[in-house]
Structure 1
Amino acid sequence: MQIDEEHIGEPGLVVLDIIAADEGTVRAVMEGLQHKWATSGVTPLWRVPGEAGVRARVHADIRRPG
């Protein structure tokens, strides 16, 4: 997946790729991030064939509390 310039176009904007062994862990991390910062929320999960883990990508604005 490609990162769009608008998602990191200024200080305080981040893109976080999360990889964990199971879907529950990835969802728990995304939910926790929502409470700390303004985020894109719980996003779709995916797996990469031949690679371990479940993945998700979250966009966050760490300047704004969740």
Structure 2
Amino acid sequence: MAVVEVAAADDATAFAVQDLLAANYAIAPGDRTVREPGVRLRCFLDLRREPGS
């Protein structure tokens, strides 16, 4: 399991990065961003792989 925090300029970019991660890993997606300078989004990745994948 890994925690990924995405720092981006806007919500659309943060969610696009999350979508790219979801294409390769099982994730527990974030559903909202935190406003700081820019935005931050936290999601959780399951890095376990099935044998042969």
TM-score above 0.5, yes or no: yes
Residues 36-47 of structure 1 mapped to structure 2, 5 A cutoff: 36-47=24-35
Residues 12-27 of structure 1 mapped to structure 2, 5 A cutoff: 13-27=1-15
Write the deviation string for residues 9-60 of structure 1: whole angstroms up to 9, x where unpaired.
xxxx100111101111101001111111000124211113xxx111110000
Number of residue pairs matched by the alignment: 50
Over 4 Å off, 4+ runs = none
TM-score (norm 2): 0.80
Q: Which has the higher contact order (CA 8 A, sep 6+)?
A: 2
Percent identity, aligned pairs only?
34
Which structure has the highest strand share of the two?
Answer: 2
TM-score (norm 1): 0.66
